Amino acid sequence: MADPSEALRLRWIDINGNVITINKPVKRHYPRTIQVSNNLISMLNALPKDSERIFPTTYANMARSYYGMRKQIAKKLNKPRILKISFVTFRHWAATMLYHQTRNILLVKKLLGHKKIENTMKYTQLIQFKDSEFEVTTATTIEEAKTVLAAGFEFVHEKNGIMMFRKPKRFLSLEM
User: What tens digit of pLDDT does each residue of 81-99 get?
Assistant: 999 999 888 888 888 888 8
Question: In the chain, what are the domain boundaries?
Answer: 4-54+86-124, 131-168
Compute and round to an integer the Cα radius of gyration of the chain.
20
Distance CA 53, CA 72 (A): 29
What is the mean predicted confidence (pLDDT) over 162-169? Answer: 86
Question: What pLDDT does residue 6 have?
Answer: 92
Reply yes or no on whether the pLDDT at 64 is more than 70.
yes
Question: What pLDDT does residue 172 have?
Answer: 44
pLDDT averaged over the chain?
A: 87
Reply yes or no on whether the pLDDT at 70 is more than 90.
yes
Reply yes or no on whether the pLDDT at 34 is more than 70.
yes
pTM: 0.65
Share above pLDDT 70 across residues of the chain, in percent, rounded to a whole number: 91
User: What tens digit of pLDDT does each residue of 48-59 get?
Assistant: 999 999 999 999
Of 3.40.640.10, 1.10.150.120, 3.90.380.10, 1.10.443.10, which CATH number belongs to 4-54+86-124? 1.10.443.10
DSSP 73-104: HHHHHT-GGGGG--HHHHHHHHHHHHHHHH--
The SS3 assignment for 124 reads: helix
Reply yes or no on whether the pLDDT at 27 is more than 90.
no
